[in-house]
Amino acid sequence: MASGQLSRAGALACTGCRHACHVMLYCDTKTQLFGRLPIRHIILMQMRFDGLLGFPGGYVNPSEETLEAGLSRELLEELGVALPILVEDHVDCCHAPASSPYSSSRLITHFYVKKMEEEQIREMERTAASTATDHGQEVLGMVRVPLYTMKGGGGLAPFLSHSFIGNARSKLVDSLLRLDLVAPEELHTALAHSLKLHAHSAEDLRAALALTEAKRKRF
């Protein structure tokens, strides 16, 4: 078992621990971008209220409900769909990373993966924006992960350079490899390009900071 990871039984036996459950919902697709670039798979993530990217889900209290029932409840609030989650969908659990802005040594995160039909995914995108109670509040919108790479480098690399909550980015990368959704070499190239984009973004932020500093001194 990887460092920091827990067994499901061990996680549930943790006294005084809080639990958060999140799920990666995905499907296969034959659609093409601009009619020529295969999209291959649709993976749903969301822009959170704090400006970070993450997977649907939230806090669950195992003393009042099962992990799966709690996650289904969270999905109903965030996606507007009562989606049944099974124990078999559970992938792993671990202590939340210390770098997470909402983590503590007593928070355990559970990650699930569920494959669906394309029409089910499309329906969830519609209901998330029209009937979900959390839309526009805790969830600012659903987003698809671009798994393709365009000639200019657009697609997966820029997406991976964004800011993610906790271990969401590592869970995404691990799932892409484990489910063979993206070839290892293609993913490696995208991550390397993402690092370069991150450095360029840091330069832009420093320039913007300098501009606001100059404006601030005028007042």
For 5-217, the fitting CATH number among 3.40.720.10, 3.90.79.10, 3.40.50.720, 3.40.50.2000 is: 3.90.79.10
Tokens 């991976």, residue?
Answer: 160
pLDDT at res. 103? 57
Smallest Cα–Cα separation from 160: which of 152, 168, 169, 151? 169
Strand runs (DSSP E) across the chain, as ranges?
5-6, 18-28, 32-33, 37-38, 41-48, 53-54, 57-60, 90-95, 107-115, 139-144
Enumerate the domain spans of the chain.
5-217
Amino acid 104: pLDDT = 60
Helix spans in 118-183 (H) = 118-130, 156-160, 168-178
Residue (of 150, 147, 151) closest to 160 by Cα position: 147
10-residue averages of pLDDT along the chain (219 residues): 77 92 98 96 98 97 95 97 95 82 76 98 96 96 97 95 95 98 97 90 85 75
pLDDT of residue 155: 97
Other beta carbons less than 10 A from residue 4's beta carbon:
10
pLDDT score for 205: 84
Q: What pLDDT shows up at residue 214?
A: 74
According to DSSP, the residues that pair with 24 across neighbouring strands are 113
**The pLDDT value given to residue 60:** 96
pLDDT attached to residue 187: 97
